[in-house]
Chains A and B, each alone.
Chain A
Amino acid sequence: MQALTNRAKDVSRKPMSFMESLYLPAIFKGMAITFSHIFKKNPTISYPEQKRPFSPVFRGLHVLNRDEEGRENCTACGLCAVACPAEAITMEAAERLPGEESLYREEKYAAKYEINMLRCIFCGLCEEACPKDAIYLSETFVPASFTRKSFIYGKPDLLIPNPKTDPEGYEKARGKAEPTTASAASPN
């Protein structure tokens, strides 16, 4: 068979020389490399006290967005669910009743909206499919947990805090104040 590259080397089957059969020179050479790392900069950080900045395009935990008046954007159109390659998203739609206009932006809304984080692969296709700017992948991890149940994220877990009643929570969830690799590179 023809080799794809010329970098393959044949394995040497020669018997070892005396110096090689002592093994000691090779061991010291290896240990020297190991110990030299004591004097190098430590690449690990102590999470969670210290956090690495995310890339601005990082795709983490989903949030369901609200508009500036605190109404939910989602109309349960199902495009995120149909775009989802892992089939992680399910929903049930309902019609807005008179008097619920301050809760939902349009006459149809998602009464139930669930993302199975065990299935989700964080590809961001739901965000891309959404015609209503309703779902975003934020710059946070999905927290670890000991039970499977806690990975079924419903609407209370996903909805962004209401900007009318909880402006600080809303700003925090938007994550605009968090440093990213882009802002670290260009300070503005």
Chain B
Amino acid sequence: MSEQPLFKVTIDNITIEVPAGTTILNAARKIGGDVAPPAMCYYSKLQGSGGKCRTCLVEVSKGSEKDPRPMPKLVASCRTTVMDGMEVKNITSPKVLDARAGVVEFLLLNHPLDCPVCDQAGECHLQDLSYEHGKEGTRYEFQRRTFKKHNIGPYIQLHMTRCILCYRCVFVADQLTAKREHGILDRGDHSEIATMIEKSLESDFIGNVIDVCPVGALTDKTFRFKNRVWFLKPMDAHRDCPTCSGKVTLWNRGDEVFRVTARKDEWGEVENTEDGKPAWICNTCRFEKKQTSDWVIEGPRMISRQSVISQGHYAGNIGMHKPNETFSAVHGGRQPKLMMDIHTASEVNKPNIELSLINGPAHSTDFNSKKD
């Protein structure tokens, strides 16, 4: 690696030296911040990903030191490697911003925009992308495309209408699992993620398609409709798992584990373990270990302050540290006299209904006293 020449590349007037063969996107990510173009389909941990969604388009205003002509069209930064002396414009180019707004409009053409129902809302890359780079409104006037519903097993919920065809899940199924059972059927705007003959996806690592999906097309069925992500506490935890690294993020409410995901970095990708491999997690860790006692909790997961997930987690004080009750110590052992125990009046969060232990979404039958 050390013999590789270092190329000097300038992105948005910030110069950085990267090894030859680095893509513009990865060079920009080394600088970080707003300079890094958004990416919906590129996933650095999956070979062959990228080049499909066109959200990472950048303008190359100077090809290289030897050939200073600009590139005639905007290029996909995830697939274009840097050249020595290349100058790239991302957010400083009005052309790029305009093109990106167009790309967002295209991605949202057939998107149902059912964010209030969708479990991905709050951590959805398409939501972030359209807020940051999109325009208000669409010019599309036709019926949005819909699909026949596929049931792909007890763990993963597929919502084909939300899919943006980034192919990340196909790469996961291809590269992580022994036998690929799902992929893209049909072509053009009919193409859909599905299994060929109503197969359940039961390979050991197939749950990772949930983590790589940038939208809510593939979501965790065991977490479906249980809670919104921004009401949950993300906690780093690990367990001794024979099949995977066992390093996960738990999404807790109180002491209940509502959801288990892999740990994600600032680009929304799965973090690496110490040995430099992506910390994919297995289905057992993801879907079956929903007890706090299954896990060794390391501490609160730091979430970007700008994310809705960190709302209410004042000053980063999210954790398992319950506040110390000082009342009885101060009042000579006397317990505080409660005006009302909320559970005597409230129907929500009943101690005898543990939502996290229900397989799949809750139904009206799961609540003791049926309303309406």
Contacts and interface: CB of A to CB of B under 8 A. Distances in A.
B339 A148 contact: yes
Contact of A77 (B116, B226, B344, B364): B116
Interface in A72-108: 75-79, 81-82, 90-95, 97, 100, 103, 106-108
Given A78-B231, A82-B308, A148-B340, A94 B117 contact: no
A94 B361 contact: yes
Given A92-B349, A114-B348, A132 B116 contact: yes
Given A93-B225, A97-B363, A155-B371, A107 B117 contact: yes
Given A82-B311, A92-B362, A112 B347 contact: yes
A82 B228 contact: yes
Given A92-B348, A103-B372, A114-B346, A79 B116 contact: yes
Contacts of B117: 75, 77, 106-108
Nearest to A149: B345
Contacts of B367: 92, 94, 111-112
A152 interface: yes
Nearest to B230: A82
B98 interface: no
B41 interface: no
B86 interface: no
A77 B121 contact: yes
Interface in A126-173: 131-132, 148-149, 152, 154-156
Contacts, number: 88
A contact face: mostly helix, strand, loop, or mixed? mixed
Interface string B321-358: 00000000000000000011010111111000001000
B115 interface: yes
Interface string B238-279: 000000000000000000000000000000000000000000
- Give chain A's interface residue range (CB within 8 Å of chain B): 20 to 34
A94 B367 CA distance: 9
Contacts of B347: 112, 114, 154-155
Taking each of A76, A94, A154, which has the highest tally of chain B beta carbons within 10 Å of its own beta carbon?
Answer: A94
B364 A97 contact: yes
B366 interface: yes
Interface string A6-33: 0000000000000000000000000000
B224 interface: yes
B365 interface: yes
Contacts of B225: 76, 93-95, 108
Contacts of A148: 339-340, 345
17 contacts: A77-B115, A77-B116, A82-B231, A82-B311, A92-B362, A92-B367, A93-B226, A93-B361, A94-B362, A94-B363, A94-B364, A95-B360, A111-B371, A112-B371, A114-B346, A114-B347, A131-B115
Interface of B: 114-117, 121, 224-228, 230-231, 308, 311-312, 339-340, 342, 344-349, 355, 360-367, 371-372
Given A78-B227, A95-B224, A106-B114, 12 more contacts: A77-B116, A77-B121, A82-B230, A82-B231, A94-B361, A94-B362, A106-B117, A107-B117, A111-B367, A112-B371, A114-B346, A148-B340
Interface of A: 75-79, 81-82, 90-95, 97, 100, 103, 106-108, 111-114, 131-132, 148-149, 152, 154-156
